[in-house]
Amino acid sequence: MNKRVEIALNDQIVKEASSSQFYLAMASWAEGNGLNGTAKFMYSHSDEERFHMLKLVKFVNERGGKAIIPAIDQPPVEFENLKNVFELLLAHEISVTESINELVDICLQEKDYTTHNFVQWYVSEQLEEEALARTMLDKLKLVGNDNSGLYMFDRDLESTIPQVNPMNETR
């Protein structure tokens, strides 16, 4: 496997693992604050990010590279409020999209078209994740500081989470 591509893929493994831990921290915070819908959403999102990481680990190893399982910095324990959580989620996803785009760029520079093809799945995934985070934030902006609105937002989230386990997806 091309060395530069291998390094970039390992960097992406760090980012996906960090995302998983970050959303797990959000889930735990939400659960501790009675926001069960948000907690469920974030637990599920954290699982999804772990799947993104695993998919990269397997790809690197299958292509003759060496996937490195990273140590991860501790994510925050406290968050200001629900809006803050979703703002952080969107900002985080935007930064992940940037790094996926860099990865695409490196694949093209190194003429690694197989990895380029593999990374396209992440490009589409990022589009969806950013759109979802923006929708959630738009809803929260409408709700403002209204407690009954926030309650409804959280309750709606509980019933609208897709019950798909990413670990069951075809690899």
Residues binding ligand FEO (CB under 6 A): 16, 19, 49, 52, 93, 96, 129
CB of 150 within 8 A of CB of 85? Answer: no
Our CB check for ligand FEO shows the closer of 2 and 20 to be 20
Our CB check for ligand FEO shows the closer of 57 and 143 to be 57
Cα distance between residue 75 and residue 124, in whole Å: 26
Residue 107: how many CB atoms within 10 A of its CB?
A: 23
Cα distance between residue 45 and residue 156, in whole Å: 16
Residue tagged 């500081």 (tokens): 145
Angle at 52 between CA 96 and CA 9, to 5 degrees: 65
Our CB check for ligand FEO shows the closer of 72 and 142 to be 72
Minimum CB separation of residue 148 from ligand FEO in Å reads: 31
Cα distance between residue 138 and residue 43, in whole Å: 21
Minimum CB separation of residue 53 from ligand FEO in Å reads: 8
Cα distance between residue 142 and residue 15, in whole Å: 31
Q: Which residue is nearest to ligand FEO (CB)?
A: 52
Minimum CB separation of residue 1 from ligand FEO in Å reads: 21
Minimum CB separation of residue 93 from ligand FEO in Å reads: 5
Our CB check for ligand FEO shows the closer of 52 and 150 to be 52
Our CB check for ligand FEO shows the closer of 52 and 83 to be 52
Extract the tokens encoding 10. 């390992």
Crossing angle for the helix pair 113-143 and 3-32, nearest 10 degrees? Answer: 20
Minimum CB separation of residue 127 from ligand FEO in Å reads: 11
Residue tagged 């409804």 (tokens): 152
